[in-house]
Chain A
Amino acid sequence: MSGFPILSLMLAVPVVGAIACLFAGDRNARLIALAATLVDLALGIMLWAQFDIGGAQWQFTERADLFGRFQWALGIDGLALMLIMLSVFLMPLCILASWDAIKQRVGLYMAMFLIMQTVMIGVFMAQDLLLFYIFFEAGLIPMYFIIGIWGGANRKYAAFKFFLYTLLGSVLMLIAMIAMIAEAGTTDIPTLMSYNFPVEMQTWLWLAFFASLAVKMPMWPVHTWLPDAHVQAPTAGSMILAGVLLKLGGYGFVRFMMPMFPDASAQLMWIVFALSMVAVVYTSLVALVQSDMKKLIAYSSVAHMAIVTAGLFAFNQQGIEGAMIVMLSHGVVSAALFFCVGVIYDRLHTREIDRYGGLAVNMPAYALFFMLFTMASIGLPGTSGFVGEFLSIAGIYEASSWVAFICTTGIILGAAYMLYLYRRIIFGELTKDDVKAMPDLNAREWAITAPLAAVALWMGVYPESFLAPMRGDVTAVVARLAPAKPAGDAHVSAGKPKAAAAEHGAAPAGDAPRAGGSQ
């Protein structure tokens, strides 16, 4: 542990930048925001480079008493590190994506994004329960304003819906947290992670957390805020919403619910599995019939997040690591897809899929990138999407072949709706005059898509870079859950080789105990 408070610095830089943006002109505000986010990216890279894989679970810890039980307690483990990296990587790209698209109140807009950055990485750094809660809820406010002020025509409806849903859930979580503090007598998250709450208390604590995190995820049936929020949000807002904000829910699951309430998690895993299975099929089918590009991608996000929840609740190494990779991959790929939508929205100002068509002719570079992200989204091996989906469903299969089967149907439907979208936008005859006039990617847009594409491929070809820092922490969670974990449904039982080969078919001929009993 170095004495240098790098985490606090990472939180402070955007705040300073935000204040400066408020008083700067439009052009300067953009530059300040970009500089601040780039500094944070550089700090993030330093953080990753200095992170000791296989070392202490919590690194870069900082602790300062504030008042009462409040503590300024920061620290990260591998899971947090990866999500922080995701946030600091996406943020400069979001600023660049808003460069020309946002023309009104630029200073305020940039300030909102920088504040959002602080609270997002704050969530992942917090080691104090109340500090975590403050960051967790504060994330709502800038997003609420970004949608409400710079959003589309129906922005107020979307902003309030977003706020209503997420706040309602978090009230329950706050009450649960207070009860936890009263019971355990501490707000320290690492301590709470190994505190054994009474089993009956775990159940309702779990449900209260679940109410909040399921909304953030979002899980079916509390997902309806997401399509509206995405549709109304400006491009960069959608990018950060899909890229990072949706990951808060998953982080909450793996940081709080699973290690803190292992017995309740095991008892209630069927709720998660059931909702995830419904979500995969339901939202994929809904995505198939959308005529609004952003809505389509928003629904696909819900389906991907369902793989995350199911993977986490598989309670094994593959499931949880896979779920984490799905989160990282989805963070990159969905942000990229929303940016792709933004690129053509900026040119034609409509999200109607049918207004486009034939873009392969006049925007070949755009078509290539869009194809790459489409393939990453449907989990083509060699891209990030595959590694995550493959690992998590492999883990799910160990827990339940039924859930794995339903989740795997998502790969068929996913291919169907994404390719159908791609075909309607990129392929076909280029007939519409205004579409013909659209130019290909400019330098700024290249600067955004190229890093996203590079990371999507990197994560697909050599995911070890991302898996290694998380391995120990996932093992710890798995170990914590192990006593409560139910057995999988496979029940392999050895048979007598050759003897059963003569038997015909699927009869339990090889089931040694049973065969022995009947003979």
Chain B
Amino acid sequence: MIQAIVFLPLLAAIVAGLGQRAIGPFAAKLVTTGALFASCALSWPIFLSFVTGSGEASVTTVLHWVSSGALEFNWELRIDTLTAVMLVVITTVSSLVHLYSWGYMEEDPDQPRFFAYLSLFTFAMLMLVTANNLVQMFFGWEGVGLASYLLIGFWYKKPSANAAAIKAFVVNRVGDLGFMLGIFGTFLVFGTVSIPDILHAAPGMAGSSISFMGMRLDTMTILCLLLFIGAMGKSAQLGLHTWLPDAMEGPTPVSALIHAATMVTAGVFMVCRLSPMFETAPVAQGVVMFVGAATCFFAATVATTQWDIKRVIAYSTCSQLGYMFFAAGAGAYGAAMFHLFTHAFFKALLFLGAGSVIHAMHHEQDMRYYGNLRKHIPITYWAMMLGTLAITGVGIAGVVGFAGFYSKDGILEAAFASGGGGVVAFWVGIFVAFLTSFYSWRLVFLAFYGKPRWERSEHIQHAVHGDHHDHPSDEHAGDDHARAQHQDRHGDGTAGYHPHESPLSMLIPLGVLSLGAVFAGIAFHKQFIYPEEGATFWAGSMMAFDEHLMHAAHVVPLWVKWTPFTVMAIGLFLAWNSYIRNTSLPGRFVAQFKLLHQFLYNKWYFDELYNILFVKPAFAIGRFFWKKGDEGTIDRFGPDGAAALVAGGTRLAVRLQSGYVYGYAFVMLLGLVGFASWAMVKFL
């Protein structure tokens, strides 16, 4: 069965990708979407069997892969609790995104290719989470990287999309450098790359030391840090995050699937999967927590200033991933996985909702040109509303709440309970919860409330003036239409444009994900983070689950439980005050704190810095090596120089190009060979 779950998407990708001309676009879409729904239907029973406690971990060997000396690894599919959680996340979101794309990509001429890429991605992601050895995990790791590259650059005619695709791949490769060295080091130390064997042996290596690049370091610390560099790349953590916002160049369903719900959480998954290793390396855990908290803070600050709706959500994702990492760093892996689980639903919902907005607004993504959309696209509005309630963590402690409420509070409480650096992380988390609330509500208010500000958008103008011939019989035609046209001349900001609610294929996924955003927390929080139920649930997963910590998290003081809700309310109020009640406030604020705003708006200048530090020097040095090294030194004093010498001086150098001079060199060499032959005869 697990083979079907994993390989159906691959099969579908091959059929749709290579056979698109034979079977046509409709069949290609049907095959891929059907395969994903089948995978999804097979995954849920596995997950539920673990929830009810009847599931058992298993490993299925598919094919031998490599054996070289002691280094041996196979293609294997592992199922346990951790994998089961990821299986349902991946297959559910992926199948819904497939369905959503029927509507969203309807006008695209290249649909079979798009669906093939989506299915290929799903296959790679499933290989990643079912890996039983580090190398197969790396296979999935790189496979999702490839799919991400292909999908970001899906509209390959756009230079910006191509640049973003390459950036995503190359920045991820920087992380992969750490991952690969981590695998090599792990193999060196443990003599195996099998994950169960490594995790079993890890405690025995605690406290040992190893030389790495001339330094004497604690073995487990350096191994965990190297592997974590890989996780940082894939999960867009501070320093290696620059590719994620640019990845929004891809179609929106891709952003929902890859850059929100699944691929970017691979790093969190990896840390949880290898948690017994991290448990033996407190320093590495500290680094994980610090990087997580820093990313969480950084991304949230940037998100408050962005105008592009997708970029706001992208930075929000980055920030939420930071939450997951600092939970993992605090040792609360259950909480990290729980947030991963709920986040997948509400973040996919927000992205798909944003896609629905963009669809309605004729590809306009700038929130400055939105406004008042709740009246025009009410279903999308409600979906976004539920997603926002989930991400900002609305809920009443101890009673009921949206999905994000359970998981985020779980993380914050666990961080607080872990003490030490965890308390610092807790306060950072609280501040970020405030920022999260502010930027999320800012998005909702800008897009759905206030007056329409559509007329300034070029996309809308283009739609109004270019679309008349395409859609002569407007759905909203009639009085409404005439009135809007009329009012436009009176400056109501609509420019006579009518946003349409999206088709059913897009609304159904929104509805299903809304259910997840509302109920995923309340339904599963006991299994994920409660001390006793959690211990049973995670028992078969090899994941380190600290009952004491989760118990301590459960009994934190009441103010700890209520602070997140309070800051959320403050954020909501501030957003309402700035974007509905007193809309001139943000402008005045920006004018007052221009430097700060510029710093945040330009994303802390990471891109500019990397450009100066890495990209430009790489090209400059490459050019230098080529012109001055190869041509200016090696060739000049090497073959060209030798040829010139043989010819008796530089005056003949002009004839170099004709090759005659090389003839002399040739003759000389023949002489040498003759000498050697003579020597040979003499010796023999």
Contact = CB atoms under 8 A, between A and B. Distances in A.
A351 interface: no
A164 B157 contact: no
A160 interface: yes
Contacts of A182: 683
Contact of A416 (B141, B146, B204, B618): B618
A163 interface: yes
Given A394-B187, A415-B169, A171 B206 contact: no
Interface string A140-156: 00000000000000101
Given A164-B666, A490-B188, A412 B625 contact: no
Contact of A225 (B282, B639, B680): B639
Interface in A399-440: 401-402, 404-405, 408-409, 411-413, 415-416, 419-420, 423, 426-430
B662 A394 contact: no
Contacts of A461: 63, 65, 75
Interface in A480-519: 488-501, 503-512
Interface in B181-214: 181, 183-185, 187-189, 203-214
A285 B666 contact: no
B169 A419 contact: yes
A198 interface: no
A285 B188 contact: no
A506 B622 contact: no
A501 B208 CA distance: 10
B662 A505 contact: no
B67 to A, nearest CB: 7
A462 interface: yes
A282 B629 contact: yes
A178 B170 CA distance: 50
Interface in B140-190: 141-143, 146, 149, 153, 156-157, 159, 162, 165-166, 169-170, 173-174, 176-177, 180-181, 183-185, 187-189
Interface residues of B, number: 93
A289 B209 contact: no
A189 interface: no
Contact of A285 (B71, B162, B621, B657): B621
B2 to A, nearest CB: 19
Interface stretch (A6-14, A20-28, A30-38, A317-325): A317-325
A157 interface: yes
A467 B66 contact: yes
Nearest to A489: B211
Given A493-B209, A505-B283, A428 B66 contact: no
A501 B639 contact: no
A364 B181 CA distance: 36
Greatest chain B CB density within 10 A among A69, A160, A467 is at: A160
A462 B177 CA distance: 24
A380 B642 CA distance: 42
Interface stretch (B217-225, B482-490, B505-513): B217-225
Contact of B210 (A159, A467, A492): A492
B66 A463 contact: yes
A467 to B, nearest CB: 6
Contacts of A489: 211, 214
Nearest to A171: B672
A181 B283 contact: no
In which size bucket is the chain A interface?
35 or more
Interface in A347-398: 358, 360, 375, 380-382, 386-387, 390-391, 393-394, 397-398
Interface stretch (B267-275, B336-344, B630-638): B630-638
A387 B283 CA distance: 32
A464 B283 contact: no
B166 A382 contact: no
Contact of B625 (A286, A507, A510): A286
A447 interface: no
Contact of B206 (A321, A412, A413, A495): A495
A381 B135 contact: yes
Contact of B221 (A412, A491, A506): A506
Interface in B553-606: none
Nearest to A414: B173
Contacts of A224: 630-631, 634-635, 638-639
A405 B283 contact: no
Greatest chain A CB density within 10 A among B68, B149, B618, B638 is at: B68
A171 B618 CA distance: 38
A171 B673 contact: yes
Interface in A65-87: 68-69
A415 B170 contact: yes
Contacts of A401: 181, 185, 211-213
Contacts of A375: 146
A168 interface: yes
Given A181-B683, A288-B622, A423-B166, A174 B218 contact: no
B610 interface: no
Interface in A243-290: 282, 285-290
B649 interface: no
B138 interface: yes
A165 interface: yes
Contacts of A499: 207
B682 to A, nearest CB: 9
Contacts of B208: 492-495, 500, 510-512
Interface string B663-684: 1011001001100100110011
A408 B205 CA distance: 26
Nearest to A397: B184
Given A182-B683, A289-B619, A497-B204, A427 B177 contact: no
Contact of A402 (B210, B213, B684): B213
Given A394-B71, A416-B170, A161 B662 contact: yes
B662 A160 contact: yes
Contacts of A159: 659
Interface string A160-185: 11011101100100110011011000
Nearest to A419: B166
A316 interface: yes
A54 interface: no
A285 B618 contact: yes
A5 interface: no
B280 interface: yes
B679 A467 contact: no
Contact of B658 (A156, A181, A282, A317): A156
B375 interface: no
Contact of B209 (A69, A285, A510): A510
B184 A500 contact: no
Nearest to B171: A412
B216 interface: yes
Contacts of A358: 157
Contacts of B189: 490, 492
Greatest chain A CB density within 10 A among B159, B174, B209, B214 is at: B209
Contacts of B478: none
A380 B217 CA distance: 30
A322 B68 contact: yes
B180 A390 contact: yes
Nearest to A387: B66
B135 A390 contact: yes
B469 interface: no
B535 to A, nearest CB: 22
Nearest to A423: B162
Given A401-B213, A405-B181, A467-B67, A171 B683 contact: no
8 contacts: A164-B639, A224-B634, A317-B69, A317-B70, A462-B63, A492-B209, A493-B209, A501-B206
The 6 closest A-B pairs by CB, nearest first: A500-B207, A495-B207, A317-B69, A160-B662, A156-B659, A510-B207
Interface of A: 68-69, 154, 156-157, 159-161, 163-165, 167-168, 171, 174-175, 178-179, 181-182, 221-222, 224-225, 227, 282, 285-290, 316-318, 321-322, 358, 360, 375, 380-382, 386-387, 390-391, 393-394, 397-398, 401-402, 404-405, 408-409, 411-413, 415-416, 419-420, 423, 426-430, 461-464, 467, 471, 488-501, 503-512
